[in-house]
Chains A and B, each alone.
Chain A
């Protein structure tokens, strides 16, 4: 292979570009899940919300001509699903894990059903911001063509950090998630906080879904999501329930996910499937390496339980 002056840069650039692209939905879904879990509930249904968001976003963008309206619609669809999850789980003896899994099926099913007529038409996609303008090299420009939602995601991570640590509502959310007794003793409405947190989580997951269908090149198909909604749950644990960590974890995950295609791009085609498994292997490795008995999960919400 002929090594040009840009050659040594191609691989890291491709990985960086891929990382940004792949990580964006992860950022939204994992931070949404983080907010829900901080209230002491787990919503495993975000995979369904993600698909619903992708479909709703694409559909509204197509009908209205505005991708941002599509993003909003995706968020609202997600909020509705969050509300559904929140209400169902508030009924005594209903288990949030089971509801979550049934919502995956429901969300995906609804998305496929209403999405049928959307496979053909072309909806306007979200704008991207070109950070590679300074370079004349097309590889650089392509890699640094960053979707606007990515920046929103970064802001979101910091905003959620501030919310959880520096606002009264954030502290209330953490109280409800960490100790129901404490919350009740302070007179907080545990159910209301949990429902709102699940709605907020759904909103963000819906937006994450809209990225899948509305980012360049933009299309709707039934194979859009490859389990991001489920991986987000692991990401939250991996991020130890901290939003900034979740941002970092999403990027890392995105980078690992971009490894396979990037290597293929520079001509390394062997072990393609093995490299595609990189994010999962990486997660496992880091999880094992970073767990320790001496430093337990200090930020893990105490009320987060599998059975209730």
Chain B
């Protein structure tokens, strides 16, 4: 066959989405494609989307598993809204994902599986491949199942293995579509299946078959080229937010010299942090899988008392269980990092979906006056830096810190420019010296109001702390009314003072303007993209995105002052906005909220901002 000529279109960015049945291997396919793209120099952001059930019924909408990757020669800020290419391995996945495809998008399907029964199970009344409903797209209906089988006849593999490698056929087509050589993916196979060389051969054969098929196919009239992005020099890797949290904590442990202890109980979407840290005993990580979340945090508090960098990781329902114990860490003024990978709530809610609805709980969800530091990561990569920062602030200021991340950050991945541990800021916990005659459990540093960390085993520092209110400085149990006032105020002031130790709030855009868009957490990329586009249209719009929420950076008020209107966008019913109303009553905040377990799309934000800009 002759090589057919086709148009090559240069693209700044494209979004590719792989969807299929849970068993179709879409996560692997997506990862292989995005890893190869990253190595070839594209910037990328990915987002896996899978069902809560491990084995949902075959070929149903409930069982659809997806993986989206956004790659570009420009800086990529989100996993993308709508996709340019949709790979759908069965009718159910096409049915549930077509709405995420751009008009005219390339839709690649396994034509073999669109038979009546499967179509019906997915809710189709007629065959979507032939009834004209896909006329507005570029449909590539490839007989993937049979072609895969055909490609493998000579290798003599069992039908199950053949069926399982269908996804590589699709990946071959995609590689052709993006003018990518298969070399990099071949290399991945060689590493991944080192112990099962049969699979190297099977996967290579099928991948190549898919590529060859695409090359000869009339349906592909246009292929894409996404050149390498201009990236800063350095060593890179792909990293998910959950991995980044685990590694940030390990880095903080090494840099501070404080051994790390994790007390945790498995819960989606936070479990990966626990599993990752459990792997790193060689770095001295002590990981305790507790009998419940309460034991998780309480064991961490015990470890903190002895001088460990103590951590507990969880998601919403688990944070609820930890409330009382967080108060104990507040009153004993012990360092403790609480990582909450937020998911849809209330109660069990939407375990595998993302939401920002635990902010109020993080700020206020405890009995008594119990201030803690609250910080939020906003990208999968900065999960590393904010986990490090959480550990640093916690230990240096002897206070619990709640680090909020989100399911989409935890599961999503981005390119990570690998730092050197020695280049990270130093961490100096206030450890009390042996036989210090002046040591008192609640004697404080004048500037920071931080008490000292006196570790059991140290000579001359025996003392008792606990959940009962203590006498200022001395540390004995004390119910004196004025003392309680003093201690309450000191605990609050200590946390407020941390504003002196965190960076200023940043502003994207002009200092003054018609509209300031405020957000926090995972929405950074979507808001940035929307604001960036409107700025390019000449609109007087700026963005400020919060990572430090308790306390706020010192210049926060100054930033608000410059704008006629302020809108706060959140994936909840309005939690940061109400907190801002309480803290900055002099401003009028409008709000834009969404609670669907889905991220913002850039288009809806632009529409909202335009509408506000128009209103007089």
Instruction: Decide if A and B are genuine partners.
Output: no
